[in-house]
């Protein structure tokens, strides 16, 4: 056996495996991102109209129950985080799909962007309100 020839059992296997692409997120994730972004925008707009604390110290000392606004504020705060997360998951799993994208994936991408944009707008409204009307 010549020196240039390598035994077939000792040679590295040929690279026949295709590049693995992530599985795209199900369509309902993009749809949920868009609707959740819209709901959180509505919740952020409603928040300033809810009755707030009259005596924050008594609420913190548990002498009075928390106001409606204080009980409601975690819903849009955590909801915008979930809406943005779902939109990012859709876009991230779509990153290695062959271009041009099929119409269904383009619709999912638009829904993901819409959910992120609506949730971001809700975040701006929510945190601006909290910054201007928070504890002093």
Q: Is 82 among the domain residues?
A: yes
Q: Is 30 among the domain residues?
A: no
Entry pTM: 0.81
pLDDT given at position 54? 83
For the chain, the straight-line distance linking the first and the last C-alpha, in angstroms and rounded, comes to: 87
* Beta carbons within 8 Å of 68's beta carbon, 6+ residues apart: 50, 51
Q: Is 24 among the domain residues?
A: no
Q: Kindly state the DSSP code that residue 34 receives in the 8-state scheme.
A: H
Q: Is 15 among the domain residues?
A: no
Q: Is 26 among the domain residues?
A: no
With cut-offs at 50, 70 and 90, classify the pLDDT of residue 135.
Answer: low
Phi, psi of 73 (to 5 degrees): -60, -30
Looking at the chain, the whole-number percentage of residues with pLDDT higher than 90 is 63
pLDDT digits (tens, 9 = 90+) for 67-126: 999 999 999 999 999 999 999 999 999 988 888 999 999 999 999 999 999 999 999 999
- Quote the number of domains for the chain: 1
């Amino acid at each position: 056996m010549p020196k240039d020839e390598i035994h077939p059992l000792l040679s590295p296997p040929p690279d026949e495996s295709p590049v693995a692409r992530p599985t795209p997120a199900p369509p309902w994730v993009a749809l949920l991102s868009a609707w959740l972004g819209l709901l959180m925008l509505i919740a952020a707009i409603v928040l300033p109209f809810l009755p707030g604390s009259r005596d924050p110290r008594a609420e913190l000392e548990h002498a009075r129950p928390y106001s409606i606004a204080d009980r409601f504020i975690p819903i849009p705060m955590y909801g915008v985080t979930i809406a943005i997360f779902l939109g990012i998951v859709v876009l991230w799993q779509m990153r290695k799909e062959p271009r041009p994208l099929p119409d269904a994936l383009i619709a999912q991408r638009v829904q993901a962007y819409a959910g992120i944009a609506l949730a971001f707008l809700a975040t701006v409204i929510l945190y601006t309100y909290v910054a201007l009307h928070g504890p002093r």
